[in-house]
Amino acid sequence: MPQQTPLKIAVLVSGSGTNLQALIDRIEQGDINANIACVISNKAEALALSRARQHGIPTEVLESSAGQKRSEYDALLVKILHRYNVRLVVLAGFMRILTDVMISAFPNAIMNIHPALLPAFPGLNAQRQALEYGVRFTGCTVHFVDSGTDTGPIILQAVVPITAEDTVATISEKIQVEEHRIYPEAVRLFVQGSLKVEERRVKIQLA
């Protein structure tokens, strides 16, 4: 069968970019037929940007300016994404809430990873929330982004047990191991056309 053109992806980051790295690695190993067309950060100093540059991936910094509305920022973001012909937007530690301007430009084509088993512990400091609540299991969730905070249709989840010795730091580490496994896997499923969203449920159709 002829190889299809790699799907163009953008990865949006604000920080260290370990999930970006996991995705780059899987693509370079030839497991995902995608091309990271650009990495966009809202922070000029994000380590994720140097990871991208080391792999020859174009980078863009889009910082917010004083008095700018979130929708205005998102309109600029959409412009950049269209310029690169992006088909899938991967949020990897991007510390901004998206508005409908972004969501309507990429319906069911924006993914996020959250460090908890949604719908439990949405929002910030999910690992601390889980530890303080006393749950025995937490984990991570890859989901499509809708207009709520961490509320979109769930694609994949992985479970991490919490032991009596765990701290926020150790739980975060264990969750990241799982994130680096399931996030590239979710991207791979999207790229090969295996994800079908039916209301809240994401059907995985294996080829």
Known catalytic residues? Answer: 114
Cα–Cα distance measured from residue 38 to residue 80, given in angstroms and rounded to the nearest whole number = 9
For ligand GRF, the binding residue among 18, 33, 149, 170 (CB under 6 A) is: 18
The first and second tokens of residue 190, run together, are 């999207």
Beta bridge partners of 156: 142
Task: Output the smallest distance, CB 60 to ligand GRF, in A.
Answer: 17
Interhelix angle 18-28/168-191, rounded to 10 degrees, is 40
Binding-site member from 74, 146, 150, 179 for ligand GRF (CB under 6 A): 179
Long-range contacts of 157-161 (CB under 8 A, 24+ apart): 157/117, 157/118, 157/182, 158/182, 159/117, 161/136, 161/137
Task: Report if residue 114 touches ligand GRF, rule: CB under 6 A.
Answer: yes
Q: How far is CA 6 from the centre of its chain?
A: 19
Does 16 participate in binding ligand GRF (rule CB under 6 A)?
A: yes
Contact with ligand GRF (CB under 6 A) among 9, 10, 11, 17 = 17
Considering beta carbons, is residue 18 or 33 the nearer one to ligand GRF? Answer: 18
**Which is nearer to ligand GRF, 117 or 140 (by Cβ)?**
140
**15 binds ligand GRF, rule: CB under 6 A:** yes
Residues 47-106 that bind ligand GRF (CB under 6 A): 48, 92-93
Q: Which residue, 150 or 207, is less far from ligand GRF as judged by CB?
A: 150
* Size of site (CB under 6 A) for ligand GRF: 14
Interface with ligand GRF, residue 139, by CB under 6 A: no
Q: Compute the distance between CA of residue 131 and CA of residue 206 in angstroms, rounded to an integer.
A: 35
**Residue (75 or 168) nearer to ligand GRF, CB:** 168
CB 19 within 8 A of CB 111: no
Whether 180 and 93 have beta carbons less than 8 Å apart is answered as: no
Q: For binding to ligand GRF (CB under 6 A), which residues are involved?
A: 15-19, 48, 92-93, 113-115, 140, 176, 179
